[in-house]
């Protein structure tokens, strides 16, 4: 049995998304709403990129699946 390794691209995008969300929460707390709106847009873009990266990864896993014997 082999372990599944998360691709660097997916891990990096997940980290970026978490960073953006934390920053957005902080700027909202400080009532800097224009900056929060920009971060919201950044968050949506990173979510879309993450979704595509995860889909590519899942497709790669399906194509390269090892049969269990």
DSSP assignment string, 5-25: ---HHHHHHHHHHHHHHHHHH
Q: Write down the pTM of the prediction.
A: 0.85
Q: Is there a domain that residue 3 lies in? A: no
Structural tokens at position 44:
């949506």
Q: Is there a domain that residue 35 lies in? A: yes
Q: Is there a domain that residue 24 lies in? A: yes
Q: Summarize pLDDT for 44-65 with one digit per residue, the tens.
A: 999 999 999 999 999 998 898 7
Structural domain of 17: 8-63
Q: Quickly state the pLDDT bin for 2 (edges 50, 70, 90).
A: low
- Total structural domains within the chain: 1
The whole-number average pLDDT for the span 18-42 is 98
Q: Is there a domain that residue 51 lies in? A: yes
Q: Is there a domain that residue 69 lies in? A: no
Q: CA-CA-CA-CA torsion for 40, 12, 18, 4, nearest 10 degrees? A: 130
Report how far residue 46's alpha carbon sits from residue 34's, in angstroms, rounded to the nearest whole number.
19
Q: Is there a domain that residue 48 lies in? A: yes
Q: What pLDDT does residue 65 have?
A: 79
């Amino acid at each position: 049995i082999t372990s599944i390794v998360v691709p660097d691209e997916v891990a990096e995008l997940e980290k970026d998304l978490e960073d953006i969300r934390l920053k957005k929460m902080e700027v909202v707390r400080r009532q800097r709403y224009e900056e929060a709106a920009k971060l919201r847009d950044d968050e949506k873009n990173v979510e879309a990129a993450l979704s595509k990266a995860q889909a590519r990864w899942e497709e790669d896993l399906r194509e390269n699946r090892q049969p269990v014997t």
